[in-house]
Chains A and B, each alone.
Chain A
Amino acid sequence: MTPFLEGLLRLAWWLVLAPLLPGLINKVKAWVAGRRGPPVLQLYYDLARLWQKQVVMSTLASPGFLIGPAVAWVALAGAVCLVPLGPVGAMLSFHGDALLMLYLLALARFFTAWAALETGSAFEGMGAAREVSYAILAEAAMVAAMLSLSVQTGSVSLVTMLAPSAGPGAALLAAGLFTVLLAENCRVPFDDPNTHLELTMIHEVMVLDHSGPPLAVILHGAAMKLLLFSVLLTEAVLPMGELSPPAATGVLLAGVLGVTIGVGLVESLLARFAFRRVPLLLTTGVLFCLFALLVAWKGGRA
């Protein structure tokens, strides 16, 4: 198989599987609440429907309103290309790709927020402001997490960094990364993806005015980001590199499923926090990652 074809297949794995996660989360929430809930494949249907629709665009918006989601999606697709998939490795790997991944996520954030501000709506401005403000703490946590993995493995390349388990600090790192996952993917208790009250939202409120194919691209990108964080969390914590390929594949899938169920349970059992308490919770996430770094530092080669 040519490397190019192989790369396309890997990318296809990410693209096709990503919309499954929000469906699973909704199923878990429905199960906890004793409802039947929407089908697991609901997001696929939604995406197909949106792709067919006409677009309604604000009279104030520039072409950036449409280009923004496209660039953000490409940035997220680029980020997933750098994340290894257990035994099959990453599409692309080099010294320092962990930092490129972080900054590709930032690029996606820039263009999502840009597109949100296109409409001149105060709601969307509010959402964009919250997104970029909380991302500062999330970024600190992510850099600390990457440093801890880097200290642990002596590498700055995701393939090597994610191969062993996070060692004695695994539980701390898992807690930190899970907090960041919830914040960056706008889940409860940071944000409520189901609410229809704009004043309580971050991500949903940024995409209020989007419709049709651009909205489909945004939703798909968000699903891809959730999958990326789930894979990252699973691989950072579990010793993927030490298992046989079939076992590693199974563990990866089970890990992602576990994270998804975890998100669903958190969403069912917790209420959304007041906004002034969000930075506190995120700071706790930063501290988890910092302590994981400390443990990696002391445990690594002492």
Chain B
Amino acid sequence: MIAVLLLLAVGGMVAGMLVGRAAPRLWLGLTLAGIAAGLAAAVSVLAGGTEWEWHSAILIGGEPLHLRLDGISAFFLVLLGTVGGAGAVYAHEYWAERLHPRSARVARGWWSALVLTLALVLVSANGLHFLIAWELFTLSAYFLVTLDRRQPAARAAGWLYLGASHVAVLALFAFFALLAARTGSWDLGPMREHKELAPLFWLALFGFGLKAGLFPLHIWLPDAHANAPSHVSAMMSGVAIKMGIYGLVRFSGWLPMPTGAGWVVAALGVASAVLGVAFALGQHDLKRLLAYHSVENVGIILIGLGFALVAVEQGDTMWGRLALAGGILHVWNHGLFKALLFFGAGSVLHATGSREMSRLGGLWRPMPWTATLFGLGAVAISGLPPLNGFVSEWLVYLGLFDATQSHSEAAWAAIPAAILLGVTGAMALACFVKVCGVVFLGAPRSAEAARAHECGGMMRGPMLLLGAACVAIGLAPVLFWPVLARVTSAWRPGWADATAPAPLLMLGGVHLALAAAAGLAGWLLWARVKQRGLARALTWDCGYVAPTARMQYTAGSFAGTITAWFAWILHPIVQEQRAEAVLPAGASHRSHTPETVLERVIEPMGTVVMAVSGAVRRRQHGRVQSYLFYLLIGVAVLAGVVLAGGEI
């Protein structure tokens, strides 16, 4: 049954790749049909069906094909199917032939290829095939990121992404090769009893962490997400970086863990969460800002996973289960609301041609659908009740609070983690109030923003679907508990509670009541205002009679206080000319928050490497005499060593 569905899914994707160039509608139909088949297979596993495993005699690269669809794979496959399908529909209008005649054709083919290779990563249970699928997915994503190749920024972002991804691939090569060398087989599966494999986890953490966008390995992420077409950004942020999380969840479940792994993962998670949102606050580019929020949310996921690992180490599983459930659920949640937000950003870009927040404003009037759905996504990503973001953050919090009460070593880590998670939540709220306010509210700051138009049905539909999913998880979290239990039992057999914790049921009830009450209160207030009369007037600006849109608060000033607190790491670049003297000639202010880790750490390191390489290259110039001289020196040194009595 599952085999048939997966075969159908592969068939749909491959057929989609083949017809993608010529027939957009047929491509969309085939892709969606393939995704539907894949989703059906994943859902049947998650809904309690048996795990699917297939050993085949077919050799690829000398290794027999081995596929496996268990709870963890199926969980990520559902996210892939949802965002992949929604993105395909969205792209049909957003990256249409009419708008992008050069790249629309290849975009469709690469989209199918990306979905297919991501699914292969999720189901392959052989180290070699995992690596092949991983590399293919990296390449498909590269071609999608650089679709708009005429833009130098897109080319540079693609180059950085490709370079960084291959550093990750290098680490993963080492990881899988060492694993195969020590176990004698490329086959993957539970191997917790092989204690000697534990140190390999650090390689996996580097490789998968780089892909997940963990701070400080996130350097490639903001550029790639900001410069890719928006449906690709949604896929990258919603699904592709989750492959790093998949790898970490998968191999922390299968391999023995080195001591201290949980602490390191949790600490990296906290750093990613706080610093990700701090960098996001400093951004003026809408999509770059959203990209930094991926770093933040990956951090929240890793706090959950890290504390689950600490719980494993301490043999105490009660609070570990809650933290793990929260982290795992946040994978879905972030995938859903971040894809929604990137679609919203794409819709804004489509309508105005600008990602620069200081050129937008007042878009709620021409784009009510986009504004409302983006607002919904903003509430969800800020982790506010009654939406899904709060459910997963609340589970992580519960894990941390319960860990504190255990009065064990874990409590020492849980206290700062809980406080910093609170700080992260408050900062995310500040950031999304800023984004919504500057982009959608107030008056348009440029002619393009004033001329904006709403997106069409093919772009609105996927946003509605993702928004509905966010609301569904928020209002009925208990329904999704069996899924989490399934993933947990695949991670550590015997850990899962089949019945949802009672507080989760209560939380769902409160969320429902809250949503109903908010709707009712909004309607009542609206009715009251209608009854008493509503007059429109200019915004009150201290009696100033000619307000202009440029007098509005900007994104930079809104976040100014917070970015000043984080100036020690953000290093914002400010150029300003103040209005001084009695008759000031003019004033200007320009601020920019660079990618500090890239510009202050990686680039100087690159410069050093290049300088050393340049110096070494001067020694190799093709003159035979010099080479003979090098040989002579070598022989002399060896002779010296032997004469001195050393052994070679």
CB nearest to B390 among chain A residues: A103
Which one of A66-74, A245-253, A257-265 is at the interface? A66-74
Judge whether B362 and A147 touch: CB under 8 Å: no
Contact with A along B379-419 (1 / 0, CB 8 A): 10011110000100010011001101101000100010011
A136 & B562 in contact (Cβ 8 Å cutoff) = yes
Pairwise interchain contact B383-A94, C-beta atoms closer than 8 A: no
Given A100-B510, A103-B384, A129-B561, A123–B441 Cβ distance below 8 Å?
Answer: no
A30 in contact (CB, < 8 A): no
**Other-chain residue from A104, A118, A139, A297 in contact with B385 (beta carbon distance below 8 A):** A104
CA distance A64 to B501 in the complex (A): 36
Known: A78-B514, A125-B553, A136-B423. A110 touches B433 (CB 8 A): yes
Known: A74-B514, A99-B398. A140 touches B422 (CB 8 A): yes
Are the CB atoms of B537 and A142 closer together than 8 Å? no
Q: Which residues of B contact A114 (CB under 8 A)?
A: 375, 433, 436-437, 441
User: Among A67, A129, A142, which residue has the most Cβ atoms of chain B within 10 A?
Assistant: A129
Q: Taking the complex as formed, is B532 at the interface, i.e. its CB lies under 8 A from any CB of chain A?
A: yes
Q: Check A90 for interface membership: any CB of B closer than 8 A.
A: no
A133 & B561 in contact (Cβ 8 Å cutoff): yes
Give A298 to B398 CA distance when docked, in angstroms: 22
Q: Bound state CA distance, A132 and B440, in angstroms?
A: 18
A204–B4 alpha-carbon span in the complex (Å): 63
CB-CB under 8 A from B503, the residues of chain A are 94-97
Q: How many residues of A contact B (CB 8 A)?
A: 80
Complex: how many Å from CA A214 to CA B565?
34
Whether the pair B522, A70 counts as a contact (CB closer than 8 A) is yes
**Looking at the complex, which of B111-119, B241-249, B460-468, B538-546 is the stretch in contact with chain A?**
B538-546
**Which residues B495-554 have CB closer than 8 A to chain A?**
501-503, 506-507, 510, 513-514, 517-518, 521-522, 524-526, 528-529, 532-542, 547, 549, 551-553
A107 CB contact (under 8 Å) in B365, B384, B526, B542: B384
Complex alpha-carbon distance, A122 and B514, angstroms: 32
- In the complex, A269 Cα to B37 Cα: how many Å? 71
Question: Contacting chain B: which of A34-42, A50-58, A175-183, A226-234?
Answer: A50-58
Which residue of B is nearest A212, CB measured? B532
When distances are taken between beta carbons in the complex, the residues of chain B under 8 Å from A53 are 532
A168 within 8 A of B: no
Of A18-26, A150-158, A187-195, the stretch lying at the interface with chain B is: A150-158
Given contacts A107-B384, A117-B433, A120-B443, whether A59 and B426 have CB atoms under 8 Å apart is no
- Interface presence of B430 (CB below 8 A): yes
Given the known interface contacts A66-B526, A107-B385, the answer about A99 and B405 at a Cβ–Cβ threshold of 8 Å is no
Verify B442–A73 contact, CB threshold 8 A: no
Contacts of A70 in B (CB 8 A): 518, 521-522, 524-526
Q: Determine if B109 is an interface residue (Cβ-Cβ < 8 Å).
A: no
C-alpha gap A193/B441 in the complex (Å): 26
B contact residues around A122 at 8 Å (CB):
541, 551-553
A143 to B418, CA, bound (A): 7
In whole angstroms, what is the CA distance A259 to B427 when docked? 29
Tell me if B153 is interfacial: C-beta within 8 Å of chain A.
Answer: no
CB-based contact B510/A139 at 8 Å: no
In Å, the complex CA distance between A121 and B559 comes to: 16
Q: Residue B429 at the A interface, CB < 8 A?
A: yes
**When A94-B503, A151-B405 are in contact, do A130 and B561 touch as well, CB less than 8 Å?**
yes
Give the interface residue-count category, chain B. 35 or more
Q: Is B276 an interface residue (CB 8 A)?
A: no
- Cβ-closest chain A residue relative to B400: A147
CA distance A69 to B421 in the complex (A): 27
Is there contact, CB below 8 Å, between A150 and B401? Answer: yes
Q: Are A64 and B364 in contact (CB under 8 A)?
A: yes
Distance of B515 from chain A, by nearest CB (Å): 9
A117–B555 alpha-carbon span in the complex (Å) = 12
Q: Is B16 an interface residue (CB 8 A)?
A: no
Interchain nearest-CB distance for A204 vs B (Å) = 13
Answer whether residue A165 sits at the interface, using C-beta atoms and an 8 A cutoff: no
Query: Across the interface, do B441 and A117 meet the contact criterion of CB distance under 8 Å?
Result: yes
Give bound CA distance, A277 to B243, whole Å. 45
Asked if A57 and B562 make an inter-chain contact with CB atoms under 8 angstroms apart, the answer reads: no
Specify which chain B residues have a CB less than 8 angstroms from the CB of A130 in the assembled complex: 561
Question: Smallest distance from the beta carbon of A138 to chain B beta carbons, Å?
Answer: 8
CB proximity to A under 8 Å, residues B305-364: 361-362, 364
Q: Which residue of B lies closest to A157 (CB)?
A: B503
Determine which residue in B405, B549, B559 has the highest number of CB atoms from chain A within 10 A of its CB, and name it.
Answer: B405
Q: Shortest Cβ distance from B78 into chain A, in angstroms? A: 26
Interface 1/0 per residue, A270-294 and B, CB below 8 Å: 0000000001000000000000010
Any A CB within 8 A of the CB of B238: no
B537→A56 contact, CB < 8 A: yes
Q: Nearest chain B CB to A133's CB is how many angstroms away?
A: 4
CA distance A122 to B517 in the complex (A): 32
Smallest CB-CB separation from B514: which chain A residue? A78
Q: How far is the CB of B407 from chain A (nearest CB, A)?
A: 6
Look across to chain A and name the residue whose beta carbon is closest to the beta carbon of B281.
A133
How many Å lie between the Cα of A62 and that of B368 in the bound state?
9
* CB-based contact A54/B518 at 8 Å: no
A133 touches which one: B430, B443, B514, B521 (CB < 8 A)?
B430
Interface pair B535/A54, CB less than 8 Å apart: yes
B142 to chain A, nearest CB (A): 37
A106-132 interface code vs B (CB 8 A; 1 in, 0 out): 110110011001111111111011101
A217 engages B394 (CB within 8 Å)? no
Partner of A59, one of B385, B524, B532, B537: B537
Which residues of chain B come closer than 8 Å to A279, judged between CB atoms? 561, 565
For A64, what are the chain B residues with a Cβ–Cβ distance below 8 Å? 364, 375, 441
Q: Which of B407, B501, B532 contacts A55 (CB 8 A)?
A: B532
- Write out the residue numbers on chain B whose beta carbons fall within 8 Å of the beta carbon of A73: 521
Tell which of A146, A154, A213 has the most Cβ of chain B within 10 Å. A213
Measured between C-beta atoms, what is the minimum distance from B648 to chain A in Å?
A: 60
Looking at the assembled complex, report how far the CB atom of A40 sits from the nearest CB atom of chain B, in whole angstroms.
27
> Is B626 interfacial (CB 8 A cutoff)?
no
User: For the complex, is B560 an interface residue (Cβ under 8 Å from A)?
Assistant: yes
Name which residue of chain A comes closest to B527, CB basis.
A213
Given contacts A114-B441, A130-B561, 9 further A-B contacts (CB under 8 A): A60-B442, A60-B443, A113-B437, A120-B549, A121-B552, A122-B552, A144-B419, A156-B402, A301-B407
- What 6 A-B pairs are tightest by C-beta distance, nearest first? A125-B553, A120-B442, A117-B437, A143-B422, A132-B430, A139-B426
B interface residue numbers (CB < 8 A to A):
361-362, 364-365, 368, 371, 375, 379, 382-385, 390, 394, 397-398, 401-402, 404-405, 407, 411, 415, 418-423, 425-427, 429-430, 432-434, 436-438, 441-443, 501-503, 506-507, 510, 513-514, 517-518, 521-522, 524-526, 528-529, 532-542, 547, 549, 551-553, 557-562, 565
- Pull 26 A–B residue pairs with CB atoms less than 8 Å apart, ordered by A: A56-B534, A57-B536, A70-B525, A75-B385, A78-B513, A92-B510, A96-B394, A99-B397, A103-B383, A109-B429, A110-B433, A119-B442, A120-B361, A120-B549, A123-B541, A128-B553, A128-B558, A129-B553, A133-B561, A135-B429, A135-B430, A139-B423, A140-B420, A143-B419, A156-B398, A209-B540
